[in-house]
Structure 1
Amino acid sequence: MSHDYTDILHTVLSGYALPHDGYHGVYHWARVWENGLRVAEHNGADEEVVRLFALFHDARRVNEHRDPDHGLRGGELARSLRGTLVHLDDTRFELLYEACRLHTDGHTTGDATLLACWDADRLDLGRVGITPRAELLCTDAARGLIPWAQARATADEKAHEVLGLWGHS
């Protein structure tokens, strides 16, 4: 069963505590989506999990600064939507959940899908004035994307194609 990203986005945003256009909001999620799919092309990650990660990883942040349990809360939100909006078998869902839960812990080894998710988020650090460091990324694909991703993040690129797919302007 395919995912209705517009419905997922509206559900996520209905409980999102921060500004939709903030550092961890919709424009960041859209860039994470694009970053992740570019990494997945090279490392064989599960693209559906990467897409869902983009929408859930920061979905339940409570502030723009230190929020150590936000990934866990994002994973729990995805779990609460299983069978209604999130349609993954147990193995793939566990990848999504773990990708969300662990995305700020600095891991650089593991399953290809986890690595693509974590790199997708790290590649967007330019939005907060940080240039991603190659040695802190998980994949060669992500290391090669640093200049491209940094330019997009620092310019606050809106990733209009993804936003259109989500039904968000």
Structure 2
Amino acid sequence: MHDHALILQEILRGYALPLDGAHGVVHWARVIENGLRVAESNGADADVVALFALFHDSRRVNQHRDDGHGQRGGELARSLRGTLVHLDDARFDLLYEACLLHTDGHTTGHPTLLACWDADRLDLGRVGITPRPELLCTDAARTMLPWADARATSAHVPETVLASWRMTRALMPVE
């Protein structure tokens, strides 16, 4: 199992955007909650899904269009392999591919990829986009869409996730 709090600390050392922005820490926390629910239903690798939540937007430099940010997040994960990220090659390849392709609109593939992509898409309400069921990858995501969209549009803060990452609601690390 990975120490998500330590990984988050490392990510935040080079994070260029506001922590409380549309692609920041609270978004990642909702993505992990969404993703773990989908993974439970579709048999995805929950560890990879959780790491995707942390890395997929970790190297954004723009809140709007930011070509290449998924690849940069995947490269950050690669740079942490063997120190903070401990996945065999096949599982790491899934993490990297999920990050790389998460904005490309794919709806078919390995169950872990689908869980990652749905986890992020279910949180589109945070930027004023209602996810379309036909663009989701899994039945689980389509079922959870009203719940997840309500959380995204209301800027729900997943307190339990933040606490597990040793972050406060004000997005400050807890010493």
Q: Same fold (TM over 0.5)?
A: yes
Give the structure-2-normalised TM-score.
0.95
Q: Deviations over 1:7-47 (max 9, x none)?
A: 10010011000000000000000000000000001100000
Q: What is the aligned partner in structure 1 of residue 134 from structure 2? A: 135
| Residue identity matched to 2:87 | L
Q: Deviations over 1:18-77 (max 9, x none)?
A: 000000000000000000000001100000000000000000000100011000000000
Q: What is the aligned partner in structure 2 of residue 35 from structure 1? A: 34
For residues 114 and 129 of structure 2, the distance between their equivalents in structure 1, rounded to whole angstroms, comes to 20
For residues 160 and 43 of structure 2, the distance between their equivalents in structure 1, rounded to whole angstroms, comes to 23
Q: What is the aligned partner in structure 2 of residue 81 from structure 1? A: 80
For residues 41 and 5 of structure 1, the distance between their equivalents in structure 2, rounded to whole angstroms, comes to 19
For residues 127 and 141 of structure 2, the distance between their equivalents in structure 1, rounded to whole angstroms, comes to 18
For residues 145 and 128 of structure 2, the distance between their equivalents in structure 1, rounded to whole angstroms, comes to 14
Q: Which runs of 5+ in 2 are unaligned?
A: 169-175
Map 1:99-138 to 2 at 5 A: 99-138=98-137
| In the alignment, structure 1 residue 149 sits paired with structure 2 residue 169 | no
Note the aligned Cα RMSD (angstroms). Answer: 0.4
Map 1:51-62 to 2 at 5 A: 51-62=50-61
Calculate percent identity across the aligned residue pairs: 74
User: What is the SS of the residue equivalent to 1:149?
Assistant: helix
Give the structure-1-normalised TM-score.
0.99
Q: What is the aligned partner in structure 1 of residue 160 from structure 2? A: 161
Q: What is the aligned partner in structure 1 of residue 95 from structure 2? A: 96
**1:164 CA drift (Å):** 0.7
* Pairs aligned (count): 168
Q: Which runs of 5+ in 1 are unaligned?
A: none
